[in-house]
Amino acid sequence: MSSLFRYDRQVGAAAVKVRGDSVRRVDHCLQAQRVAAAAGFPCARPLTGAERLDGGLVVSAEEWRPGGEILRGDHAEPARRSGQLLGDLLAVLEAQAVEGFDPPPPWMHWNPSGGSLWAPNPSIDGMDQARVPETTHILARRVSARLAQCSLPKVLGHGDWEAQNIRWQDGRALAVHDWDSLVALPEAAIVGAASGAFASAETPTLAPIPGSAAFIRSYEQARGRTFTDEESEVACAASLWPALHNARGEYLVQSRPVAASAVMDQAEERLRLAGA
């Protein structure tokens, strides 16, 4: 779910990152990334702050951290390891302030201001929206409405917890990438979204419900507590939003409906578990 305006490029021992975003938000993400790196979490250490280029894009640099492999699969073992790693990260970030991370990226922005259903997304907003079935909009409204009822406190976490953003080596996490996707949202929403997205590699999809359940159990074990009923419902609702965002994109660009098919197969059961 990386922006079309982002790319990484090796320059000596550094990766130079250029993307369309605000300097303020990127700087906050970089500071949290520094905290994680200093705590020994597997990620590159930022080497600079954020600066705006003449063309309006924002540039920064971080350590070059190549290597490792994507952990593929949507079954119990990848779910367990990915959920454990997210638990480790949120433990590292739990003392960090949550101000300065708005707005979240579109795939985590289920209640944008102004009353619109979908958050602004210039790469697809100009396309023919009639290609998106009304069923997708209806499901998105149900998820959005359920998450709008959530009054849980915000925490800081990673908002693009896909397999393609994590590299593993010898059974251990080597590097977590895409720190521009940090979000300040309720813990259960961050974990729920990750539980649906953790298996996404080159093509984003929605993990099967048992895989999401295994992910959340592993996260809970890492954090040493079990979600409340409210948190479990919020997690189930949030698990659908990134997939709905991707399904909308598939319809608009007329690509193979990977996320869309998974959403249609699972949405009603996930919404039932969400109390929606």
Query: For 178-226, how does the pLDDT look when each residue is reduced to its tens digit (9 = 90+)?
Result: 999 999 999 999 999 999 999 999 999 999 999 999 999 999 999 999 9
Per-residue pLDDT, 56: 84
Do 117 and 252 touch, CB atoms closer than 8 A? Answer: no
Q: CA–CA separation, 83 vs 194, rounded Å?
A: 8
Per-residue pLDDT, 13: 80
Torsion of CA 201, 203, 204, 207, to 10 degrees: -70
Total-model pTM: 0.92
Structural domains of the chain sorted by starting position, each given as residue range(s) with its CATH number in brackets: 7-63 (no CATH), 76-273 (3.90.1200)
Give the rounded percent of residues in the chain with a pLDDT score beyond 90.
Answer: 89
Torsion of CA 156, 159, 164, 166, to 10 degrees: 10
The H or E element that residue 167 is part of is: strand 166-169
Any bridge partners for residue 166, and if so which?
A: 176
Per-residue pLDDT, 236: 98
Residue 239 has pLDDT above 70, yes or no: yes
> Across residues 62-75, what is the average pLDDT?
94
Q: CA–CA separation, 259 vs 265, rounded Å?
A: 10
Per-residue pLDDT, 7: 41
Q: CA–CA separation, 40 vs 43, rounded Å?
A: 8
Q: CA–CA separation, 158 vs 35, rounded Å?
A: 14
Least confident residue range of 19-28, 146-155, 261-270: 19-28
Whether the CA torsion 237, 239, 242, 244 is positive or negative: it is negative
Q: What is the DSSP letter of 187?
A: H
Do 237 and 143 touch, CB atoms closer than 8 A? Answer: yes
Per-residue pLDDT, 224: 97
Q: Which residue has the tokens 């290609």?
A: 131
Do 96 and 35 touch, CB atoms closer than 8 A? Answer: yes
- Please state whether the peptide bond connecting residue 103 to the residue before it is cis, i.e. omega within 30 degrees of 0: yes
Residue 9 has pLDDT above 60, yes or no: no
Torsion of CA 104, 141, 233, 160, to 10 degrees: -30
Do 161 and 124 touch, CB atoms closer than 8 A? Answer: no
CB atoms within 10 A of CB 144: 19
